[in-house]
Amino acid sequence: MANDTEKPKLSKNLMQMKFMQRKQQSDDREKLEEEEQRVIDEEHWVLDIPELKKLESRYEVIDSFVPCEGLKYGRFSFQGFNPAIEKIAKSFEVAKEEEASEAKEKEESVSDDEMARRYEAIVGTIQKKFGKKRHRNSTGDEPQVKKKKKKFLKPKED
Amino acid sequence: MADSVGKVVIPGDILSEFRASEKTSKVALGPGLRQEGEEVLVTKGGILRHKEPNLYWIDCHQRRYIPAKGEDVIGIVTVKSGDVYRVDIGATQPATLSYLAFEGATKRNRPNVKVGDLVFAKLLVANKDMEPELVCIDSGGHSSGYGVIPADGGFMVHTSLNLVRKILSPNCDILKFLGKNVPFETAVGMNGRIWVKAKTPKDTIVVANAIASSEHMTNAQIRTMIRQLLDKLSGF
């Protein structure tokens, strides 16, 4: 049964219909591109050598004094002498303040990881509240001693 | 060498035992330090400084400007050639400045820059093997303070690089204190050039002199000096 393993094909008549043409064209184009790519790949030479390891230095070099000493931007204007410059200075200040407040917030608030951990812990406690009394024990934290299932005991024959 | 932080080192000294960052386990070497093989050599004479967590550099006295990427400098336009201006920034080589690197400049609409103009610009390319390249716009295409410094009044003084660093450092308040008393505008280039402009030539001279003579003064000394200058200015 060779037909079973092959992918089912649509009839020739159906493939010739207009809405199937587009699919067919794109398939043809793909095949052509694949072929071209294969030809190009075969023409390329590849040297069979192990990949070069990148030398990793423990030093990184900084050319400028600006990050070292935390230097400010070099344009200043005072008492409204050049309003355009003062506007820029103000925007720098706002950005700096924002950064500072963000850093402070990060320090004070709970991180995502911690939140997730706390939430995980709290889920159990709240669940207990909503569960029925009968289920409480099963959702509790302490491991339950599994009760022996009661079996039907055969009455003794005397 | 953690124990030589804050001490004088001289060119040729070999340093070791740097404190690396915990995250990346890397050491950042600032100006004056150079990696030579596995060793770190000192290339400038000065005081070894350290900033947490892993940054080391040499604090030295210097007047020769060495271009560094991202620094703001004041340049003097020396040549207009084709589509670039050649700008003297006090380094070993003149820098290039494309005429398209100005706010609102297009191929048709060239900026109005003449030979001899001062420009406040940022170094886009700076390394020892290539010509430095300047731009007068930020990454968003806005001027944000860069560009041609208007030639109507104002005065440029050439100082040491240390003074520039001192003026721009967050714990020096000379400009703030001057600004409280005199309305003025200034552009401070990392290449040791400081341009000042106030309302009258007299004010401009006072401000420029105050800045130029403040190199070895403490904040308190600067304040008294400025007060004296202002008293002279107002005729006491």
CB contact under 8 A, A81 and B185: yes
B200 close to A (CB below 8 A):
no
- Among B29, B69, B183, the residue with its CB nearest the CB of A59 is B29
Output phi, psi for B165, to 5 deg: -65, -35
Nearest CA to CA, how far is B233 from chain A (Å)?
A: 18
Contact A74 B165 (CB under 8 A): no
Q: Which residues of B touch A95 (CB under 8 A)?
A: none
pTM greater than 0.90: no
Tell me what ipTM this predicted complex has. Answer: 0.83
Report d(CA A36, CA A41) in Å as an integer: 9
pLDDT digits (tens, 9 = 90+) for B65-122: 999 999 999 999 999 988 899 999 999 999 999 999 999 888 899 898 999 999 999 9
Task: Give tens-digit pLDDT for A51-106.
Answer: 777 667 788 888 899 988 888 898 999 998 889 889 988 888 898 899 888 888 87
Mutant choice from A55, A63, A73 vs B, greatest count of B C-beta within 10 A: A63
State the average pLDDT over residues B138-147: 87
Number of A:B CB contacts under 8 A? Answer: 116
More confident call, B126 vs A46:
B126
CA-wise closest residue to B8 among B25, B39, B32, B29: B32
β-strand partners of B29: A61, B56
Sorted by sequence, the CB contacts under 8 Å of residue B81 that are 6+ apart come out as: none
Q: Is A11 helix (H, G, I), strand (E, B) or coil?
A: coil
**Domain extents in chain A:** 14-44, 73-128
For residues B175 and A139, what is the distance between their CA atoms, to the nearest angstrom? Answer: 68
Give the model's pLDDT for residue A145.
62
What is the reported pLDDT for A1? Answer: 47
Instruction: Provide the token pair at A111.
Output: 């991180």
Bridge partners for B195 per DSSP:
B156, B187
Helices H / strands E in chain A, number of each? 7, 2
How far, rounded to the nearest angstrom, does the alpha carbon of residue B120 sit from its chain's CA centroid? 11
Query: In sequence order, what are the residues at sequence separation of 6 or more whose Cβ sits closer than 8 angstroms to the Cβ of residue A136?
Result: A128
Q: Is A62 on the interface with B (CB under 8 A)?
A: yes
Average pLDDT over residues A30-55: 83
